[in-house]
Amino acid sequence: MQTKLALIVSDTPQAQAGVEALRSSHDWVAPAEADVLVVVGGDGFLLHVLHEMLDWDHVLPCYGMNLGTVGFLMNSQQDDGRSIAQRVAEAHSVSVRPIEMHAVDKHGQEFCYYAINEVSLLRETRQTAKLEVRVNGKVRMEELAGDGIMVATPAGSTAYNLSAGGPILPLGSRMLALTPLSPFRPRRWKGAILPESAEVEFRIREPEKRPVAAVADQKEVREVRSVRIVASQVKELTLLFDPGASLEERIFAEQFEV
């Protein structure tokens, strides 16, 4: 039986202008009837679609086509002579497990969001953030002073995490990167690599004087008091990549780039 494809396109002028030939090249169905979503745009738009799908009853594989800026999570939109149906049929799948952020703000309200790339804690003012770091209920660092800290997934380890000096994690490693942001004390701490099963918790020290925001990909909670992060046990996403251009290959290439 033929795979049913749905087309979702970013509203940016670049994506809208470049998708006309694709629109007429296939008999598309509505997302509710589809087996696979073809997502056209950039990495940010694909992440938006993936987050939307986390609220669906049934999560679909996504084949991204790059008509954005970076396109690290996307496939090339160049015509290689294959139909879109053929490209999807020949694509390799990669499973991506999001992490869950449970943040409590100064009013005691709890906010729960998924992150596919990373959860970041960031100082809100010129005052240095001061954080207590716990792993599996045990205090591992009584006070980290700096701009903040992040927990990154393997899929997100080459994004903000890499720019902050964090490690690249291979896909399938079931690990998380704990990476400080401009640490002042302890100055030489470079972070840690944790098993995906670890529960990471941050408690804000001096929160009135040193307010901190927590960000799960694009979702932000300001003036948090505590943040708990765990890997999702029930949600898993699937990305599709052309042969020879898998996400795993791109992560390998990042480690040898000079």
Q: 147 labelled as ligand-binding? A: yes
8 Å CB contact between 62 and 30: no
Element (H, E) at 240: strand 237-241
Q: 30 labelled as ligand-binding? A: no
Q: How far is 17 from 20, CA to CA, in rounded Å?
A: 7
Q: Which residue has the tokens 């809100």?
A: 124
Q: How far is 159 from 54, CA to CA, in rounded Å?
A: 21
Q: 163 labelled as ligand-binding? A: yes
From residue 252, alpha-carbon distances to 127, 162, 170, 244 in Å are 38, 13, 8, 12
Exactly one of 11, 35, 43, 217 is catalytic; name it: 43
Q: How far is 28 from 208, CA to CA, in rounded Å?
A: 53
Across the beta sheet with 110-115, the strand order is 110-115, 99-105, 224-231, 200-205, 129-135, 138-146
Q: 66 labelled as ligand-binding? A: no
Q: 155 labelled as ligand-binding? A: yes
8 Å CB contact between 197 and 231: yes
Q: How far is 66 from 250, CA to CA, in rounded Å?
A: 15
Q: How far is 154 from 239, CA to CA, in rounded Å?
A: 14
Q: 162 labelled as ligand-binding? A: yes
- The yes-or-no answer on residue 43 being catalytic is yes
Q: 44 labelled as ligand-binding? A: yes
Q: Which residues are annotated as a binding site for NAD(+)?
A: 43-44, 48, 117-118, 147, 155, 158-163
Annotated binding site: 43-44, 48, 117-118, 147, 155, 158-163
Please list the active-site residues.
43
